[in-house]
Copies of this chain bind each other. A is one copy, B any other.
Amino acid sequence: MAALDLFGRRWTLRIIWELGNEPLGFRLLQRRCDGMSSSVLQQRLTELQEARLAEVLSDGNYTLTPLGHDARESLGPVIEWSRRWAAELADAPPAAAEGADDGRHNRS
């Protein structure tokens, strides 16, 4: 359950996903995550390192540890599912309100 808690924090899943593609520097990673807040990114990066999912390379970039890559791979089915989900929602568009990306968040 602790894992569901860790992943259930804003941006955590996204960061793991982005870092899984390739090592990234702080600012570039931030841009990949829709320009998320630097303070939160720093916080998440620290949490991820404490959880031994991420680490800093000798060149200063951030990467996933082997354990982190494992985690990211376990996310594969979720990504696959999300495609089906998107297709499903496209077929049956409700009145309004999408659930995800419904503008409830504030990215000013």
**A45 and B34 alpha carbons, distance in the complex (Å):** 26
Q: Which residues of B contact A101 (CB under 8 A)?
A: 2, 5-6
Among A21-29, A56-64, A77-85, the one that faces the other chain is A77-85
Q: A71 → chain B, closest Cβ, in Å?
A: 5
A17 contact from B4, B77, B79, B105, Cβ within 8 A: B4
Number of interface residues of A (CB under 8 A): 49
Closest partner residue, chain B, to A49 (CB atom): B99
**A5 and B49 alpha carbons, distance in the complex (Å):** 21
**A92 and B100 alpha carbons, distance in the complex (Å):** 37
* Copies of this polypeptide in the complex: 2
Q: Which residues of B contact A86 (CB under 8 A)?
A: 2-3
Which residues 7-42 of A have a CB within 8 angstroms of B? 7-14, 17
Closest partner residue, chain B, to A86 (CB atom): B2
**A4 and B86 alpha carbons, distance in the complex (Å):** 12
A108 within 8 A of B: no
Q: If A76-B77, A77-B77, A98-B51 touch, does A10 touch B9 (CB 8 Å cutoff)?
A: yes
